C-alpha cells in the first residue's frame, strides 16, 4: 500500500502575551500537516493495522521537520498532540492508522515522554480545519498545558486523501492560573502525574 505524499504545510503560532505580562520565552505552538493519497478510499479493508508500520517513516519525517521549523531542541518541547482528517471517500478508521506512526514519532524524537499523545480525527471535505489537542508530554494532569492548535490545508483532503497532523508546544498556556498539578511538580512515574 502506498501513501503518496502530495504536500506538507507548517503552521507556527507565537504568542507574546494574552493581555498580561510578556511571556519569556513566548508561547510557541507549531503544527505540520501532510496530505497523502488514501489507498483505502472507496472500499472496505478489514485489516488496516499494517498501514501503521508503512507510515512510521512519514511520522519521523514530519516530527523532525516540525521541530526544525519551530527552531527548538527536543528538550524545549513540553506539549504534543496529533490528528487526522479523512477525505469524504474514506472512513473515520482510516484516520486511526496515524496513532502509532504519529505518536511514536514524536516520542522517539523527544525522548523519554510518559504521557499519551492526545488525538483527534474526523471525516471532512476539502479545506476543513481540525483542532489538534495539546497536553503535557510527561503528565496528562498538568492543566496549564491543556490547549489546542487549529490546523487546516485549504486544498486538502480531496475525497481520496488523508491529512495527517502533528503539533508541539514549548510550554503551557500564557498566564495559566487554573491550579492543579504544576509542571514543576511532575513525578513522571505513570504519565498522569
Q: What is the CATH number of the domain that holds 160?
A: 3.30.1330.110
Range with lowest mean pLDDT among 69-73, 74-78, 99-103, 142-146: 142-146
Domain count, the chain: 1
Residue 193 lies in a domain: no
Residue 192 lies in a domain: no
* Full residue range of the structural domain in which residue 165 is found: 5-185
Residue 24 lies in a domain: yes
For the cut 90, the answer to whether the pLDDT of residue 71 exceeds it is yes
Distance CA 131, CA 165 (A): 10
Closest-CA residue to 32 (of 60, 6, 63)? 63
How would residue 102 be classed by pLDDT, with cut points 50, 70 and 90? Answer: very high
Residue 11 lies in a domain: yes
> How much is the average pLDDT of 45-72?
97
pTM for the model:
0.94
In DSSP terms, which residues pair with 120 in a beta bridge? 83
Residue 13 backbone phi and psi in degrees, to 5:
-120, 115
Which letter does DSSP use for residue 26 in this model?
A: P
The label of the residue with cell 490546523 reads 151
Closest-CA residue to 165 (of 113, 79, 101)? 101
Amino acid at each position: 500500500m502506498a501513501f503518496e505524499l502530495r504536500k506538507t504545510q507548517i503552521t507556527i503560532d507565537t504568542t507574546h502575551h494574552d493581555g498580561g505580562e510578556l511571556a519569556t520565552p513566548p508561547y510557541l505552538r507549531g503544527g505540520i500537516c501532510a496530505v497523502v493519497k488514501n489507498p483505502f478510499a472507496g472500499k472496505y479493508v478489514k485489516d488496516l493495522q499494517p498501514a501503521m508500520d508503512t507510515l512510521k517513516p512519514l511520522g519521523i519525517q514530519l516530527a523532525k521537520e516540525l521541530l526544525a521549523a519551530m527552531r527548538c531542541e527536543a528538550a524545549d518541547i513540553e506539549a504534543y498532540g496529533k490528528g487526522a482528517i479523512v477525505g469524504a471517500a474514506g472512513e473515520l478508521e482510516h484516520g486511526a492508522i496515524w496513532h502509532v506512526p504519529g505518536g511514536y514519532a514524536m516520542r522517539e524524537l523527544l525522548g523519554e515522554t510518559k504521557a499519551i499523545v492526545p488525538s483527534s480525527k474526523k471525516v471532512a471535505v476539502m479545506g476543513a480545519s481540525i483542532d489538534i489537542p495539546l497536553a503535557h508530554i510527561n503528565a496528562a494532569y498538568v492543566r496549564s498545558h491543556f490547549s489546542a492548535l487549529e490546523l487546516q490545508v485549504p486544498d486538502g483532503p480531496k475525497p481520496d486523501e488523508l491529512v495527517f497532523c502533528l503539533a508541539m508546544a514549548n510550554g503551557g498556556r500564557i498566564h495559566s492560573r487554573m491550579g492543579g498539578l504544576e509542571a514543576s511538580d511532575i513525578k513522571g512515574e505513570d504519565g498522569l502525574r
